[in-house]
A and B are shown apart, each in its own frame.
Chain A
Amino acid sequence: MPPNRFNGFTDYGVGIGLRIPHYQHILSRRPVVDWFEIISENYMVDGGRPLEILNQILEQYRVIQHGVSMYFGSAEPLNREHLKRLKTLVRRTGTRWLSDHLCWGSVDGRYTHDLLPMPYTWEAVEVTAQKIRQVQDFVEVPVVVENVSSYTEFHVSEMTEWEFLTEVVERADCGILLDVNNIYVSSKNHSFDPFTYVNFVPTHRVAQIHIAGHSKFEKYILDTHDHPVLPAVWRLYARAIERCGPTATLLEWDDNIPTFDEVHAEALKATKFLKTASEASSESMATAGYPTLVREADGVGGIVSGVDQ
């Protein structure tokens, strides 16, 4: 079921990324938004405006942390300073889960600040899973890993990306942030069927889903997060929701950012898919005689009704 141990047994609905151009609108208008996703690194600071804004957001909204530089797949050890700052922020936000990418990006203490693709090898599975476990133990909240979009493949790869993802999350016992836009982008760049990927993912580990826009170039697709979600990605999302059930969904829009209302409206297009999945899920559970969960936003969290068996 969508509320699972990897997302703190929550049902968060549809959120959007908290971005600087929207600060003023959000703090002055207080729009109704299910939740915001923050880039952890932007708030892993000691003081000043970033934390002041975050505190104001936290007074009104639920916030989930999303990182971009933990680099679970880097061969070098974890950065202790990074971990300490991350844990401090986790305590501040009360994030119910913590996401970062299934990638690497640093080596020998030098950072590329990019989400570089993994070679899909068994060695990489072991290294990555071990580091995810270390992070999870340290921060004491569920860790979920996001599949990245990529433009290269390695000769040494011994399995497909979806097999690699599955092997890592099973060994790390962590959740998945399934980015269906990234799957679509990579499928075009590497010529695979994106539905094969979505159909393979262990649904019981999917804690959250990302949707976003991308840009098409002559010979490849770039994950630019500067467009509305394209129809092909919505179709992939529909399939993911069909398999996973109603899952916390977030729209990423990081460049050429339009007004808050435009971004939010685009994100809310996901609602119809979630509603359909929710109805199907309720019917399925009622038939099976399971209790049902309600969203925290409805005012009462947890199990509220059961069906006599």
Chain B
Amino acid sequence: MSARPPETPACPTLIREADRVGEGGNLLDIQRRMAAAVMHPLTRAETMPRRRRDGASNRAEAEAIIRPNDRLTSFERLEIYNRQYWFRLYGCFEEDFPGLQAILGRVQFDALMRAYLADCPSQSFTLRNLGSRLESWLGEHPEYIQPHVTLALDMVRLEWAHIEVFDSEEKPRLSAKNLAAVNENSTLSLQPYLRLLALSYPVEDLLLQVRNEDGSSTSSTNNASAARKRKHVRHFAALQPKPIWLAVHRLDNTVWYKPIAQEEFRLLSSLCNGQTLGQAIEAAFTDSPLSEDQRAAFLQEAFASWSMLAWFTQPPRSRGAGESHA
């Protein structure tokens, strides 16, 4: 078929021909310009701003690339995509971080969400990874989680760990034969779905309460549910921070939060970092108040529990001969 000129817009425009993207355009240029408009933050009223943060006119940009019709201006047509983009991201982010939202409240959470998503747009083909940079971003922007900085950061760590644990790989568990052959020079592989968290607040309890409220509330009970959530948050925020260690793991395809001892945390973390069992045990009991006898019993109980939960996995096949690997 032959190319033909664009149809005459039904609605006359004020734009000069010279302002438009040239004949045939340039695909990358058009996509960059449209993406810049679509991904630019909305106004407080959830509309597309007339001017961008850099001073550029969104109206002029829309008119340069978008054809108006008899009902909508170029700006209004582009605005549909701008709003869709943000509403989609808002929905996803809110779904991923209900605990953080409960801690901060609606207004502060909204401000954080808008700022984070503007600074850290998705770089993945899946929205699953939208919150992957939140913890590090908050490290640079603690003003968004004042006055509950530690509580909020703990919650972010837990909620991101939950997302990762939910669909991470499950490897075959370590066989009883291989487990029996473990010695102090062995390195042990742990399930990819296991996450170890060092926290200051029992945020797993708060998150479970928030999820229960979300699961049980209907439109008619939303206000009561929100009030209960605020009450839960006040309770946890009033707690004295203290070291808490948590394993986030998966069993029967359900995500579980398992409180663990500091020694367990250290030992498992060392194994995750590739240290030998001997080195991991040494790290686990550094400054530990447990006696020698207690340590032996502790290790026996811990390894029995971890084995039952299938946290140890078969070693990778590619390891070289001569290395000791369970």
Contact = CB atoms under 8 A, between A and B. Distances in A.
Interface of A: 41, 44-52, 69-70, 73-76, 79, 81-82, 104, 106-114, 116, 119, 121-124, 127, 151-159, 163, 166-167, 189-191, 219-220, 222
B81 A41 contact: no
A152 B78 contact: yes
B66 A155 contact: yes
Nearest to B191: A47
20 contacts: A47-B168, A48-B168, A49-B254, A69-B126, A110-B35, A112-B81, A116-B81, A122-B24, A151-B81, A152-B67, A152-B80, A153-B66, A154-B30, A154-B65, A155-B6, A156-B24, A158-B4, A191-B69, A219-B71, A219-B72
B197 interface: no
Interface stretch (B42-50, B108-116, B117-125, B295-303): B117-125
B20 interface: yes
B66 A154 contact: yes
Interface in B1-59: 1, 3-6, 10, 20-28, 30-32, 34-35, 38-39
Contacts of B67: 152-155, 157
B29 to A, nearest CB: 9
A114 B88 contact: yes
B123 A113 contact: no
A123 B3 contact: no
A156 B35 contact: no
A234 to B, nearest CB: 25
B31 A110 contact: no
B169 interface: yes
A110 B123 contact: yes
A70 B125 CA distance: 8
Interface bracket on B: 35 or more
Contacts of A47: 167-170, 192-193
A122 B3 contact: yes
Contacts of B31: 74-75, 104, 107, 116
B127 interface: yes
A41 B250 contact: no
Interface string B172-211: 0000000000000000000011000000000000000000
B35 A45 contact: no
A110 B31 CA distance: 11
B163 to A, nearest CB: 11
A116 B81 CA distance: 8
B85 A114 contact: yes
B260 interface: no
B85 A156 contact: no
Nearest to B19: A155
Contacts of A50: 167
Contact of B170 (A48, A82, A154, A190): A48
Contacts of A108: 32, 35
Contacts of B78: 152
Nearest to B22: A156
Contacts of A166: 1
Contacts of B169: 46-47
A106 B28 CA distance: 10
With a 10 A CB-CB cut-off, give which of A50, A112, A123 has the most chain B CB atoms. A112
Contacts of B76: 219
Closest 6 CB pairs of A and B: A156-B25, A46-B169, A45-B167, A75-B28, A48-B167, A219-B71
B144 to A, nearest CB: 22
B285 interface: no
Contacts of B30: 119, 154, 156
